[in-house]
Amino acid sequence: MKRTVTHLADGRELIYFDERDDASRDTADTRDLPPPPPASEMRHDPILDEWVAIAAHRQSRTFLPPTDECPLCPSTPQWQSEIPASEYDVVVFENRFPSFSHRVGPAQGDILPGLVPTRPAAGRCEVVCFTSDHNASFASLTPARVRTVMEAWADRTAELSTRDDIEQVFCFENRGEEIGVTLSHPHGQIYAYPFVTPRTRRMLRSAREYRDRSAGSNNLFADVLAAERAAGTRIVAGNELWTAFVPATARWPFEIHLYPNRQVADIPALTGAERDAFGPLYLEVLRRLDGMFGLAMPYIAAWHQAPVRVARDLAYLHLQLFSTRRAPGKLKYLAGSESAMGVFVNDVRPEQAAQMLREVSL
């Protein structure tokens, strides 16, 4: 794999990940662009003990452009996109409309002194383009291309983790307008947060309490994986190095977790063999998901990685994949109980979901 770093017209970084060593990446971005926006602000909610990012500049971000004006397609003589090259394999670049950024402006005072601390939303947001083919999807990628994407995820996780202002790196993909996707080109994102996210803190607290109860010998995630593998009823697919299963406590109608069978903290810690084995299994799971109702399922695919500096021994890398579709023509909405109280009510039994996914004809 060849890695080439360049910059866009406004100074944002762009990185090509090429599968050919002879790929030439000397095409310059000649657009006339305004400077990137300064970092937004974040405010700490004292009631929930959570940081909230306030990024008003994102209201003007690109929204469902026509195909011939897609900012993630390769550039052409008629249209200059975010990627100057006329073709590419995998590309990562700084988001033009970031929620978190290292371009920190002047310090601001607290919104409510003594109650709501206010800080610059330092960090970084990146876009990951999986392919130059606008009409493709992650499910249509080859295992070799998935491996290239994994190399990009590992590269960015490792590099971003060296920054003093980053505490957690989150790689994810949103797919489908039902999820809120504003660009249909197959792509994902990476958020590098200046704090450990609330969900991760909660998971690691549970893992710590579980370890303490078992006198320090057990890992919560490893024991859940072992129990699911032993039960078998919610296993969707697997191979020697990875297991895909519907969790017994699934919150979403169709939710699948993919775990490496060996505990590792993050994507960079995966071996070459584990990275090779992930692609074929994940592609099978995505095809099963799309085959449920014979349509492209909306989904979120979220990598849960260890924080950069804390509790890395407690964490267990895994991918959470879930869809908001519960039946043809019906979506799962986060209504009163879920949105206001955080109590999920699932309309599909996890065991039924797993069986339905296993029965999809590939």
Question: Is 83 within 8 Å of 129 (Cβ atoms)?
Answer: yes
- DSSP, residue by residue, 103-161: ---S----SBTTTB-EEE--SEEEEEE--S-TT--GGGS-HHHHHHHHHHHHHHHHHHT
Annotated binding residue at 73? yes
- According to CATH, the topology of domain 2-195 is HIT family, subunit A (3.30.428)
Q: What is the pTM of this model?
A: 0.96
**CA-CA distance, 323 to 326, in Å (whole number)?**
8
CB crowding 154-171: b at 16 or more within 10 Å, else e: bbbbeebbebebbbbbbb
Q: Is 125 annotated as a binding residue?
A: no
d(CA 71, CA 1): 25
Which phi and psi (to 5°) does residue 248 adopt? -60, -25
CATH superfamily, domain 199-358, is: HIT-like (3.30.428.10)
Q: Whole-angstrom Cα distance, residue 138 to residue 125?
A: 20
DSSP of 277-310, one letter per residue? HHHHHHHHHHHHHHHTTTS---EEEEEE---SSS
Using alpha carbons, list the distances in angstroms from residue 34 to 8, 79, 101, 105, 126: 11, 18, 16, 16, 18
Kindly state the helix (H) or strand (E) to which residue 246 belongs, with its residue range.
none
Burial of residue 232 (CB within 10 Å: 0-12, 13-18, 19+) is exposed
Residue 103 burial (10 A CB sphere; 0-12, 13-18, 19+): middle
Domain residue limits, the chain: 2-195, 199-358
d(C-alpha 19, C-alpha 21), whole Å: 7
Residues listed for the chain:
362
Q: Output the DSSP codes for 159-200.
A: HHTTSTT-SEEEEEEEESTTTT-S--SSEEEEEEESS--HHH
Whether residue 321 contacts residue 249, with contact meaning beta carbons closer than 8 Å, is answered with no
Residue 338 three-state SS? helix
Domains 2-195 and 199-358 in one fold: yes
The one-character DSSP state at 60 is G
The DSSP symbol for 353 reads H
Run of H or E residues at 360 = none
| DSSP bridge pairs for 91 | 16, 129
Does residue 302 contact residue 170 with C-beta atoms inside 8 Å? yes
Lookup: tokens for 59: 């209201």
pLDDT in tens, the chain (362 residues): 999 999 999 999 999 999 999 999 999 999 999 999 999 999 999 999 999 999 888 877 887 899 899 999 999 999 999 999 999 999 999 999 999 999 998 777 899 999 999 999 999 999 999 999 999 999 999 999 999 999 999 999 999 999 999 999 999 999 999 998 989 999 999 999 999 999 999 999 999 999 999 877 789 999 999 999 999 999 999 999 999 999 999 999 999 999 999 999 999 999 999 999 999 999 999 999 999 999 999 999 999 999 999 999 999 999 999 999 999 999 999 999 999 999 999 999 999 999 999 999 98
255, 347 in Cβ contact below 8 A? no
Active-site residues: which are they?
A: 187
Q: Would you state the pLDDT for residue 73? A: 97
CB 172 within 8 Å of CB 322: no
**pLDDT value at position 107?**
77
Say how many C-beta atoms besides its own lie within 10 A of residue 204's C-beta: 20
Q: Would you state the structure tokens that stand for residue 285, as one six-digit string?
A: 């799971």
